[in-house]
Amino acid sequence: MCRLGWVALLVGLAWAAGLVEPVAPVPLFYEADKMSALRLPYDTEPNKLIYRLRAYNAQPNRPLAFDVHGRDADMISITSVDDYGLVYLRQTLTAGRNYTFVLTVREKLGVNPEDSTTEVIGRIIPTRGRTPLSDIFLSYSSSEVIPEVSHRDSHVTRAWHQKRPPTLCWACVTRPP
């Protein structure tokens, strides 16, 4: 037997004997959606949605829980909805002061939180600029889930943009390979 075969055999025996526990994957933040440095107008009203965190879990159908702790954790609150963490501002920001906290994501049920938690540093940087919050968040989902049982050449989704010319209209259809 080669060396790799012996190692695999020993690991298999250790696992069977209960000496090695299988490692479960932890939920991870999407790089683009982890709020590493959010620039926000200092006069943003409290209790407004200011950010949408997003994470994914390698194990499907397991809900995620988002949380915040650290020095300035009292500035925001997070509501967990599926794979999203909706971040609300709780207090008025002070211009010229940066706010830092730790954002966490973990599986909601059935796993020891210490074993399945991912942490990232989040910051809010107050600015003197002003952009209405209604212009920041889109009112539709930018992704579509295609069912596994979809037939070839079947209609999957369609989107229209009709607010200003030119009009965007597209349809996604699965094609044979």
pLDDT in tens, 54-100: 998 877 778 888 999 988 999 999 999 888 999 999 999 988 889 99
φ/ψ of residue 6, rounded to 5: -65, -40
Domain hosting 34: range is 24-133
What does the angle CA 71 – CA 124 – CA 57 come to, to the nearest 5 degrees? 85
Domain-located, residue 170: no
Q: Convert the pLDDT of each residue in 100-124 to its tens digit.
A: 999 999 887 766 656 678 889 999 9
Given this model, what pLDDT does residue 33 score? 82
Number of domains in the chain: 1
Both tokens assigned to 20: 């090695």
CATH number at residue 46: 2.60.40.60
Domain-located, residue 81: yes
Domain-located, residue 117: yes
Q: Convert the pLDDT of each residue in 137-170 to its tens digit.
A: 555 555 566 666 777 777 666 655 555 544 444 4
- 3-state class of 106 per DSSP? strand
Domain-located, residue 164: no
Domain-located, residue 35: yes
